[in-house]
Each structure stands twice: as structure tokens, then as C-alpha cells.
Structure 1
Amino acid sequence: MTALIILLATIATAMLSAVFGMAGGLILMGVLAALLPVASAMVVHGAVQSVSNGWRAVLLWRFLLWRTLAWYALGSILAAAALASVSLVLPRAWLFIVLGLVPAIVWVPKAWLHLDFTRASHAALSGLLVTGLNVVAGVAGPLLDVFAQNVEADRRAIVATKAATQVAAHAVKIAYYLPLVLAGDGLAISWWVLAAAVPLSVIGTTAGSRVLDAMSDVTFRNWTKRIVTVIGAVYVLRGVLLL
């Protein structure tokens, strides 16, 4: 039953992420955190999301903002270097609370934080902060969206570039938690489940990309905030109940 839930969540959240560029990873992390030990949940989430985001970037490669990716990678490398000397695994209750609070970032007024990841310094800062938060909380899509909400670009360019940056962030997360998993009791699920999740992630991403093509930029921006806010509220409640 655990394997079935994870596989169904994988394809459904891959479709959702392909449409909005976020939200899917947030939901999948919550599902995995409820079913698996935190370290195992982080590794499985990182692996599945790397494939999902990577394939989304491949499908939309013509829209990628390459300069942004280069500066983001620099910030991501700095975050990985800083995390290399720190060992931090949140208890399950606090993981849900942090997951739930992350989406609140998308409601910060643009006048307060006018960030734009097409600027070199902002892209590097994005890589540093998003990668760091991704390792601690498992997801950082809403924080990344703060750097993308002021970008004057096609919605496909935003989704494609965000997807590519998340591949780097999830790779750092896997590298951080995999030694803890291997040193403990293993992945907590059969490796075949992880292997089966990979093609399902590709299928879900492909299907969601077709929905994205048919959506307007206005609808894309409006629904993104609403979806992640509802998810965040549910996670905070879940964490408080666990406490």
C-alpha cells in the first residue's frame, strides 16, 4: 500500500509541477514525510523530483534562461559547501511545520522584495537560499517563485528555468541525506519502487506540459499562489497536531 501511494503521488504531482512549476514537489514531500523516515523521504523526493524537473526542462529547453542558470549554479555550489560541515535532520512534526510555512513566502509584497532571477546577483542569491532551504525542508519552490514572480518572460521560460534550477537543488539534497540513509537501516522502501517512480514522473510531466501550453499567463500566476497556500495551511496543521 505504501508503494502504491508513493507511485500514484509521483505521477499526480509531476503533472501538477509541470503545469505550475511548483506545488507538486510540496505535496509529494508531504506524502513521503508521512510514510517514510525523514532521511529516506528526502532521498526519494530528491530522486523523483530530479527526474521530473529534469524532464520538464528538456521538454521546454528552447525557453531556458541560460544566464540565470549559470549564476544560480554558483549560489548552489556555495550552499553545498556550507552544508558539507553541518548535519541537520528535522523531526517529522517540525518538518511539516516548516513545509507549511514555506508557501507563505509567495505573499510577500513585490514592493518589499523586488527580486528577479534574470539579474546575476539575484540568481546567485536564489541558488544559495533555495538550495539551503531545499536541504532543510525538502522543498523550496515557493522561495524560488519569489525570485521568479517579477520576471518579464513567457510562462514556459519561467517553468523551464525553475525546473532546471531545482535539479541542482535536489542533487545537493540527495548528496546530503544519502550517507545518512546508507549508514542507517536503508531506504525504508524497496529500490524497485524508486525505479518505477522514474518513468511515472516522466509521464506525468509530459501530460502536465500539454496543460501548460493551453493555459494563459494570468491563470498561471493566480492559481499558483492559491494552491501552495492551501497546501501550506494543511501542513502547518498537520505539524502542530503531531507536536
Structure 2
Amino acid sequence: MTNKSLSVHRAALVAGAALLLGTLTACGSGGDSGASSAQTLSGTAAPATGGATTGSAIASVTASASAPGTTAGKTTLTVGEPSSAASKSRCHTSELRASVGRNDPGAGQENFPIVLTNTSSRTCTVHGYPGVAFLDASGKQLGPDPVRGWGTPKTVTLAPGRSAWAGMTFSNPGVSGAHAATPATLLVTPPDERDPLKVTWTGGPVPVSGNASTVRLMVFAPGTGS
């Protein structure tokens, strides 16, 4: 049942990416505001967790222990600085391992899950978007900073050894005609953190300039995305 749910989730990502690309081509960067609006996201600085909300927004969902996967409790939203409890529960870079899962291509799109795994001995949380940057062999960034795609950030609780994933999608440069380069490394910055994690990139060429060169990121969800 879990594998079926993840397959549906990734299929929705592929379909949604194609739809979003068409919408942005028509509306440009000044389209509708809201959680689905694309926003510039630094590859090395900590990404804000509140989507389109100004400032740092922490949303915590208390779910019923007797009904895993449901939202049976209350949802609270704090705008401004993260609370002390949220800060203490957040997963720090030193407690995580980053990896890139299997590509799930479709409709001219390349779709990779960016996975963060809790390697510490405590339970911690991630909330929002990762920071991402492609680097060449000399450490120079390739292409512009990715932008945020659609999705409503939710707090994902990670017990030791558990993972969360965020989708990363871009047009295949061989199809779109964008100028491409093959990165050596992918930098991944966990939400609200400043220190990135380095992952060897084996996913082939990525678009770095020209038509359809935008890389988009999705919010974190439980699991590995595969």
C-alpha cells in the first residue's frame, strides 16, 4: 500500500510539473500569488519554510496516534521567528545524510527525489523546501538558483533512520533545447539550516541557461520518494 501511494505521489509530480511549466510560460514570474507561486531559492542559504508567506512560518500538525497518516489533531501556525520548541526539534545538517533517488522521467521532465535521512539518535523534524545548487568540478555553481514549485509546507517528523524527500524537477535539455552542463556535485541545504550537504551527482546533464532552464523544488514529504 505504501509503494502504491508513493507511485501515485510521484505520478502526480510529473503531471503537475508539466502543467506548471505551461502555466508559467503563459504568465511569467508575475503570475498568481500564493503557496503555488514560484519563488527564487538560494542554493546555499537556508530556505524560508513558509512558502509564499513573508518571514519564517512554522506549521505543526498534531496527528492522532491511532490513525497514522491522518490529520486528526489541531494545526497551529506561528509567523515570525521559530518557537524555542520548533528550533529544538528541527533536524540540523550535522544530523542528516543527503542523497538523490532514482529519476522518474515523464513528459519531457526529469524528476528526482532529494532525500534527507536522520542519522542521529534523536527524533527531529524538517519543514518546507531544501536549498539546492549544482556545482562543477571546481566548485562553481552551474545555472541560476532553483525556484520553489507548488505545495503546502508541512512538518515531517523523522525518527532515527527515517527519511523525508522533496521533488526536484526540470525539463530534459535534449528536449527543451536549453544549454546544458553535467554537474559534479549537488549541494543540499536542509530547511532553516546554513550548512549544506554534498552529494555526488550522477543524474546526467541539467539545464543551466536559455529556454526552459528553470529547476523547481517541492516541499518535503515522508519517505524516500521511490
Q: Which has the higher strand share?
A: 2
- Superposition TM-score, scaled by structure 2 size: 0.25
Higher relative contact order (Cα pairs below 8 Å, separated by 6+ residues): 1
- Superposition TM-score, scaled by structure 1 size: 0.24
Q: Which has the higher helix share?
A: 1
